[in-house]
Structure formats: structure tokens, C-alpha cells
Amino acid sequence: MNHHFLKFAAATLLVTGLAATQSCKMEKEHQNPFISEYDTPYDIPPFDKITYDDYIPALKAGIEQQKEAVEAIVNNPAEPTLENTIIALDHSGPILEARIMFMVEATRFAIDRASDKELLGLQEYVYQMENCTDPEKTASLIFEFSHEIAYISGNTLLPLFFVSFRDLVCSLWARYGQKYGTKELYYSAKKIFDCLLARDKEAVKDFITTSTMESIDGSRTIYYVD
């Protein structure tokens, strides 16, 4: 099980307040893929085995993990430093790992459910990004592009998840644009858009996973500024 996914998903749930409004079917014999052990490329959940009812139990389980991580930081008797406070908190729930989960799910549902007209409607965001040179504006556009994918996916929870961490996502993509250029953000959105038009679930999942992992611990990291 990848604890990064559960921890950040927990933070998302706390922000949106969904825990009080969603029911949890813990007695089911079905094993929740988020909570069960799995061995997949890049250590991401097996999305083909996930059902709608798996989300809330996994998010609730993540709440406890996130609480434990934060409590450990707060109760650390050592003198507070950058490493044992800010960086430790950052590591307790990396947002980019959560992006893989939410984006893969949003694109998968959109490919299955969205009309051709709805998919083509995403092109306007791609056009605007192509000629945008401001990192913050481009980051905002790529967020709006991603949120629209979640909206046309037909899943009622995904748009709420995206909105709940908008500021964090935009901050990270603005940093990426500053380090590597806004064109790279455009190329990323264009690739996702092309995969959606082709309704190629495997291609878009592979691209989202690979490109995001590059931003986490590959050649284009963005968690820390050099």
C-alpha cells in the first residue's frame, strides 16, 4: 500500500468535509485496492479494480495516518528546524502523488462518459496555454483544464477533490513553469488532451504517471527550488 496516496487523500477529505455526508461499506467482502497491498508499476493503485465505494473508506483510513504524521511532527521534542517541521510535513502527504490518482481517475471516467463535444471543449484551455508565458497564469489554466476533465467525467466527487487543493496545485505548477518554462506545462496538457480525444486510457494513464513521477524524484523535480 502506498501511504502517500492515503495521507494526502485524507487531507483532501478534511478540507471538503465529505466524511460526514458519505456512507462507508466496510463490511463488504471486496478488498479495497487503496488499502490492500499491491505491486504495480510506480507503486500506484490498481485502478482497474477500484469501485466507487472504495474511495471514502480509503480516505477515512488516510485521516488516521495523516493525524499520526502531524502529531509526530508537533510532539517532536527536538528544536524546530526546516527539516523536522516544514519538510517533514511536506513528506507526510505529497500532493503530486495524489495528482496521479485523481487525474488518472478523472481521465478514465471522462473517456468512458464524456461526449466528443465535451472533450473538444477542453481545447480552449490548451490554446490559451500555448501562448501564455506567465507561470502563474499557465498554472491556473492547467488547473482549470484538469478540473474541467473532472467535471465532464460525470463523477460527483472528483471536482470537489480538485477544488480542495487548488492553491497547492497552482503553486507547484507555477514553480514548475518558472524552473522549466511554461511551454512544458502546455506540452503536458496537449498530450493529455490528445489522449482524451483518442479515448486511449492506457496512454493517458502512462503519461500522467510517468511525467508526474519525473516531477517527484526524476529529472524535473519541483518540490524544492535549487
Distance CA 169, CA 179 (A): 15
Q: What is the pLDDT, as a whole number, of residue 1?
A: 44
Q: Cell digits for 105?
A: 481517475
Which stretch of DSSP H or E encloses residue 10? helix 3-16
Average pLDDT over residues 12-23: 39
Distance CA 118, CA 151 (A): 10
Average pLDDT over residues 37-51: 70
Q: What is the pLDDT, as a whole number, of residue 33?
A: 67
12 in Cβ contact with 165 (< 8 Å): yes
Which pTM value belongs to this model? 0.64
Q: What is the pLDDT, as a whole number, of residue 167?
A: 82
Average pLDDT, the chain: 75
Q: What is the pLDDT, as a whole number, of residue 81?
A: 60
Q: What is the pLDDT, as a whole number, of residue 45?
A: 67
Q: Name 205's Cβ contacts closer than 8 Å, sequence gap at least 6.
A: 47, 104, 107, 108
Quick: pLDDT tens for 194-223.
999 999 999 999 999 888 888 877 678 775
Q: What is the pLDDT, as a whole number, of residue 10?
A: 46
> pLDDT band at 162, cuts 50/70/90?
confident
52 in Cβ contact with 76 (< 8 Å): no
Q: Cell digits for 35?
A: 488499502
Does the pLDDT at position 148 exceed 90? yes
Quick: pLDDT tens for 82-129.
565 555 555 544 566 677 778 888 999 999 999 999 999 999 999 999
Does the pLDDT at position 79 exceed 80? no
Q: What is the pLDDT, as a whole number, of residue 223?
A: 57
Quick: pLDDT tens for 170-198.
888 898 999 999 999 999 999 999 999 99
